[in-house]
Structure 1
Amino acid sequence: MTAPLAFSAEVSAARAAGTPIVALESTIITHGMPWPQNRDTAQEVEQTIRDAGATPATIAIMGGKIHIGLEAAELDNLAQANNVMKLSRADLAAALATGATGATTVAATMICANLAGIGVFATGGIGGVHRGAEESFDISADLRELSETPVTVVAAGAKAILDLPKTMEVLETLGVPVIGYQTDRLPAFWSATSEIAVPLRMDTADDIATAHRMRATLGLPGGQLIANPIPTSAEIASAEIMPIVAQALAEAQDQGIAAKAVTPFLLGRIFELTDGRSLTANIALVKNNARLAADIARAL
């Protein structure tokens, strides 16, 4: 069998011309915001990548195919679809086998991007170690994927609803390079900085691209996590957002929400508690990551 890849016309043209391509996930479309804001935001992020000199490839699973890039009608359909699976490494093959519609998380997007020969992926924030993981063992598959699949992932750190110190410890154990882009401190998703130092720093897309190629030369498995701070003009400071995160976490625990339902619940509740500012910040950081990812893709 060969991987059931279906390329959009735009991505096919970029592949034929050998021009840079940036992968995008699709859970932000199906699980991140309502219609039509989800479609409009996806289109804006794609355009940000085009404006930066690369081709966007939003990835989703539909009709037994891995779609690498979505046509306008496909994006519309996905943005309005109900009961879309949230796919990671464990259920990607099953969704393809059964013809289900699925949106890709960080882990699944990395797998699909690598199958398509795409080396750079822009997202909002990666998954990681959930708070209380010493009891629940709730750790995102994103972390192991970063250690296995050779894709450079540009994110505003890990989602701030997570246990950031433990997430960094797991990344270190797995040998994943965490590179701060023009920063010595780990970004905390909605906040531009945290108290956690990043182990590596690079200030140019060229250096990041060179490190990506060097890992392949050395035969090192896995990718790189590029920690790109949200623009300070769009951030919500830690002192303001963290008490809200704590309230949302307590509510999730009280309601018995667990597993894949945790993150969508928390992000939705934080949206309510910040009167929508968390979503505005989220969109700003995704666009910022898309611009940097395009620069890296061009350098590669």
Structure 2
Amino acid sequence: MTLPLTFSPEVTEARAKGLPLVALESTIITHGMPYPQNLETARQVEADIREAGAVPATIAIMEGRVHIGLTEDELEALAQAKDVSKLSRADLAACLANGGVGATTVAATMICAALAGIKVFATGGIGGVHKGAEESFDISADLRELAHTPVSVIAAGPKAILDLPKTLEVLETLGVPVFAYGQDAFPAFWSRDSGLAAPLRADSAAQIAKAHLMRERLGLPGGQLVTNPIPEDDEIPAATLAPLIKQAQAEADAQGISGKQVTPFLLQRLFELTDGATLTSNIALVRNNARLGAAVAREMQR
């Protein structure tokens, strides 16, 4: 069967010329920031990838098609769209079948990137094991996707609102390689050091690319997670965030918020509690990951 993939003109040209491609998710546009800041950030991240020598491929679902790369008009429309579905592995096919509009999470972006032959994906942070998961069983599909889908994900670590030790344990159980870039400490999204050691370390884009390609040669399923610490000037220390995360989580519990609604609620509350500092840091770390993603994609092509 023909896959329901639509490539933007820029991505089509890149594929024809064999240029390195970097996938980008669309949930950060539809659910992560208000308009027009979401559009400005999306444009800037794409520009960062181009400046670093690769081609961006923002992924979204529109009119029953997986769009690999968005035109300027499509990006503008998505940034202003209302009631956009937030898609993961479980609901990706249903949205496509029904001709809906959907933004791809980490898991869904990995699936679509792999279908398009893209091996590198840059994002902000991944999902993971939520606090209290021993009772709620709330564990992001991102973790299992990393074990299944052969895409290297460049992120600033799991989102700081999560249970990081349990997230690392699940990744280890699933056989997912977890690297810290340029340091031994495992970063935690807005913070460079979570207090945990990273299982693996990589000090260059070439090392990351070689590890990915070696997994392919060995026939090992799944991808790898590369945690890229946020730049020092944009960091919010973990000690500063800890009491605010605890407060936001208590508010979510009191209001009965669960499932897919937990993460957006907590991120919004932390934005409010830090007077917008988390959003500023979020933009900085996404751009930082995009630049590293472009470097890794270039090395893959070599």
Q: Which TM-score bucket, shorter chain as reference? A: over 0.9
Pair 1:285-2:279 in alignment:
no
Residue in structure 2 matched with residue 89 of structure 1 by the alignment: 89
CA displacement, residues 78-106 of structure 1 (integer Å, 9 cap, x when unaligned): 11111100000000000000011000000
The amino acid that maps onto 1:175 is: G
Residue in structure 2 matched with residue 255 of structure 1 by the alignment: 255
The amino acid that maps onto 2:235 is: E
The amino acid that maps onto 1:87 is: L
Residue in structure 2 matched with residue 266 of structure 1 by the alignment: 266
Find the aligned partners of 2:43 and 2:270 in 1 and give their Cα distance: 24
Find the aligned partners of 2:53 and 2:261 in 1 and give their Cα distance: 36
Pairing of 1:28-47 with structure 2 (within 5 A)? 28-47=28-47
Residue in structure 2 matched with residue 146 of structure 1 by the alignment: 146
- Could you list the structure 1 runs, at least 4 aligned residues long, displaced by more than 3 angstroms after superposition: none
1:194 shift after superposition: 1.5
For the residue of structure 1 that corresponds to 2:193, the secondary structure is coil
Pair 1:244-2:244 in alignment:
yes
Find the aligned partners of 2:105 and 2:188 in 1 and give their Cα distance: 19
Structure 1 unaligned residues grouped into runs of 5+ = none
The amino acid that maps onto 1:278 is: T
Pair 1:296-2:301 in alignment:
no
Find the aligned partners of 2:197 and 2:102 in 1 and give their Cα distance: 35
Find the aligned partners of 1:283 and 1:241 in 2 and give their Cα distance: 17
For the residue of structure 2 that corresponds to 1:42, the secondary structure is helix
Residue in structure 2 matched with residue 276 of structure 1 by the alignment: 276
Q: Percent identity of the aligned residues?
A: 70
For the residue of structure 1 that corresponds to 2:130, the secondary structure is coil
Structure 2 unaligned residues grouped into runs of 5+ = none
For the residue of structure 2 that corresponds to 1:192, the secondary structure is strand
CA displacement, residues 49-99 of structure 1 (integer Å, 9 cap, x when unaligned): 001000000000000000000001101111111110000000000000001
CA displacement, residues 274-300 of structure 1 (integer Å, 9 cap, x when unaligned): 000000000000000000000000000
Residue in structure 2 matched with residue 119 of structure 1 by the alignment: 119
For the residue of structure 1 that corresponds to 2:270, the secondary structure is helix
1:224 shift after superposition: 0.5
1:3 shift after superposition: 1.4
For the residue of structure 2 that corresponds to 1:111, the secondary structure is helix
Find the aligned partners of 1:101 and 1:10 in 2 and give their Cα distance: 22
1:133 shift after superposition: 0.2
Find the aligned partners of 1:2 and 1:210 in 2 and give their Cα distance: 31
Find the aligned partners of 2:123 and 2:201 in 1 and give their Cα distance: 19
Find the aligned partners of 1:3 and 1:161 in 2 and give their Cα distance: 36
1:163 shift after superposition: 0.2
Of 162-171 and 234-243, the range deviating more from structure 2: 234-243
Aligned length: 300
Give TM-score scaled by structure 1 length: 0.99
The amino acid that maps onto 2:81 is: A
Pair 1:110-2:99 in alignment:
no
